[in-house]
Homo-oligomer: A and B are copies of this chain.
Amino acid sequence: MAKSQENNHSSTITIIDVAREAGVSYGTVSRVMNDSPNVKSETRERVKEVITRMGFVGNRNARSLVSGRSNVIGLLIPDLGTAYIGEIIRGIDYELETAKYNLMLYTTHRRETKETGYISSLIQSGVDGVILILPRNPANYLDKLRSLKYPYVLVDHQGIDEQGPAVGATNFKGAFDATEYLISLGHKKIAFITGSMDLGCAQERLSGYKAALEKHNVSINQDWIIEGDFEQATGYVGAKVLISQSNKPTAIFASNDMMAFGVMNAVRDMGVKIPIDISIIGFDDIFQSSQTMPGLTTVHQPLEQMGRKATKMLVEMMSEGEIQSGKIELPTHLVIRDSCHKIEG
């Protein structure tokens, strides 16, 4: 006999108890639970009443076992604690709630090796689909996912090899717009601090910056392009380097807001006033950016929307059993606050 090690905390009421109490067969109870149309409304009401009265909740494992669906999706992320990912997850959560899915979280903590391992684990877990945020080396397992027809969506990954479903933002255009805005303010000496250059989004932002400069015939000065890594500290250090130059820029464009915060701190520490002495612009528009003083002008990335869009795509794929393809880029837009200032030409 099975079930010797009874799960002592799960409710022990089963569909059979409900059926007995309601005076119907347990198949009928199942129909009520699944909103099958083939139930007399009178019966349905009676069964529903019994269900609530007894506090019955269906056993998810049993349902999944027979239906082949778990109503759980997996979410693979590099790390938590960055506002950036938090906001994407907010969007995912939102959609998942309406679609009645739960979320299983897998954090790689930037250990690449874990990614591939997790994918096997995910599939094994009976998760119905997976969202991958900022994956490090998807090439290792994307083929597997595709060959299994396992639904997945990539978020914020601009790999060259990518043919599958993915959602990102218009990084190039966002950076282009920000740079153009600075130029419109009269700036010609515009410095740029890059993100981690192994990431597609960082590359695109750099390209956007350069393109805007070129369009307006502003020459690109390599001394004003500093390599950063999206962390606050490199923004700080980068700004110090920039400001120490004899030929210093009048504006600094940081590839993300965290680095822009570092820039702000550095600049302040050197006694340089924002935005009078120097203009600063960021990228992402995380919550904190509206809270700094002065408020950070930045490129808004629709993070929550990205999460929602990715989830919608995934839900659709899961119900249709087909892997869609094509990547989607959601529009960024400039949010003008108080960290940039007009310059006399």
Q: Please tell me if A24 contacts chain B, counting CB pairs below 8 Å.
A: no
Task: Determine the chain B residues whose CB is within 8 A of the CB of A41 once the complex forms.
Answer: none
Having A5-B67, A11-B148, A232-B291, one finds 8 other A-B pairs with CB under 8 Å, namely A3-B66, A7-B126, A10-B148, A61-B65, A82-B86, A105-B105, A268-B268, A269-B293
- Contact of A65 (CB < 8 Å), options: B6, B65, B121, B149: B65
Q: In the bound complex, do residue A62 and residue B59 qualify as a contact, i.e. CB atoms below 8 Å apart?
A: no
A58 within 8 A of B: yes
Distance of A280 from chain B, by nearest CB (Å): 13
Instruction: Flag whether A292 is at the interface (Cβ < 8 A).
Output: yes
A124 at interface by CB-CB < 8 Å: yes
A236 at interface by CB-CB < 8 Å: yes
Shortest beta-carbon distance, A287 to chain B, in Å?
A: 7
**Shortest distance between the CB of A290 and any CB in chain B (Å):** 9
| Residues from chain B with Cβ under 8 Å of A151 in the complex | 9
Q: Looking at the assembled complex, report how far the CB atom of A279 sits from the nearest CB atom of chain B, in whole angstroms.
A: 17
Shortest 4 CB-CB contacts between residues of A and residues of B: A81-B86, A7-B68, A80-B86, A57-B124
A109 CB-CB contact with B under 8 Å: yes
Q: A60-B126, A61-B70 are in contact. Are A85 and B90 (CB under 8 A)?
A: no
Q: Which of B57, B65, B107, B120 contacts A93 (CB 8 A)?
A: B107
A-B contact pairs, 30 of them (CB 8 A): A3-B68, A5-B68, A9-B148, A9-B149, A9-B151, A11-B148, A57-B120, A57-B123, A57-B124, A59-B65, A59-B126, A60-B126, A61-B65, A75-B105, A80-B89, A80-B90, A81-B82, A81-B85, A81-B87, A81-B286, A82-B86, A86-B86, A102-B104, A102-B106, A102-B121, A231-B291, A236-B291, A236-B293, A265-B293, A268-B268
Contact B102 A103 (CB under 8 A): no
The residues in A between 237 and 281 inclusive whose CB is less than 8 angstroms from any CB of B are: 262, 265-266, 268-269
A184 on the B face (CB < 8 A): no
| Interface hits, A105-152 → B, CB 8 Å | 105-107, 109, 120-121, 123-126, 128, 148-151
Are A125 and B104 in contact (CB-based, < 8 A)?
no
Closest to A103 in B: B105
Contact indicator per residue, chain A 66-105, by CB within 8 Å of chain B (1) or not (0):
1111101001000111110111011001000000001111
Inter-chain contacts of A58 with B (CB < 8 A): 124
The one of B7, B85, B149 that contacts A69, using a Cβ cutoff of 8 Å: B7
- A residues contacting the other copy or chain, number (CB 8 A): 69
Are the CB atoms of B60 and A124 closer together than 8 Å? yes
Q: In angstroms, how far is the closest chain B Cβ from the Cβ of A91?
A: 11
On whether the beta carbons of B233 and A291 are closer than 8 Å, the reply is: yes
CA distance A343 to B199 in the complex (A): 47
A81 neighbours in B (Cβ, 8 Å): 82-83, 85-87, 89-90, 286-287
Contacting residues, chain B, for A265 (C-beta < 8 A) = 292-293
If A104-B72, A105-B105 touch, does A8 touch B65 (CB 8 Å cutoff)?
no
Check A2 for interface membership: any CB of B closer than 8 A: yes
Question: Closest residue of chain B to A240, judged by CB?
Answer: B293
Residues of B with C-beta under 8 A to A9: 123, 148-151
A125 and B60 within 8 A (CB): yes
Cα(A11)–Cα(B107), bound, Å? 24
With a cutoff of 8 Å between Cβ atoms, the chain B residues found around residue A109 in the complex are 90, 93
